[in-house]
Structure 1
Amino acid sequence: AAWTWWMAVLMVALARRARAAKEQDDFARAMALGVLTGLAAWHLSGLTEFNFGDSEVMLLLFLVTGLTLGMGPEIRRGARGPGPASGATVPPRPVP
């Protein structure tokens, strides 16, 4: 039951992340939709083979999922304008 709840929450969070990035950042939206699609495909393939115990697959899935969910602050920051973390460059300091 905990696994099902966790995966449902994860899928909802990814769908919300894709919806939030729709107007602001194509890369963030593509990442969220790609991970959401990959997660759904991973669960569908689990119907015919045991991939839930494959540590390499799970590690890669959770890494990409964490990176996508970590982009949440970047998506919200994009609505207020560019910041240092969103690709804007900081002008160099003059050398004394």
Structure 2
Amino acid sequence: MGAEIYGQWHGNGATVIGDTNGITVIKDGKTELFDWDHVIQYGTLAIVLMENDEAAWTISLNQNFRIHSEGPPSGEIRLYQATMEKNKPITLLNSRENL
């Protein structure tokens, strides 16, 4: 699923960047890079970003997510912070989708 979210995704004060280095999460002024060795596929619709052998973030594809043979994907992804505290997922859109 990492290849499907290649590019920049923005929404609700968060940014996710998928590139050759891995996946970067920017939230609340904090930047975290997860190289591909720390990105774990979870089924077909989600990946887990690992830090110190523990889940830090989960990224999932929304139902409206679509891959196109030409152009960027459309639809949304969701970013979930792995925490014991109650939190809401952050919905993100591909920055190239609206070009």
TM-score when scaled to structure 1? 0.26
Larger strand proportion of the pair: 2
What TM-score, normalized to structure 2?
0.25
The higher-RCO structure (CA 8 Å, 6+ apart) is: 1
Structure (1 or 2) with the greater helix fraction? 1
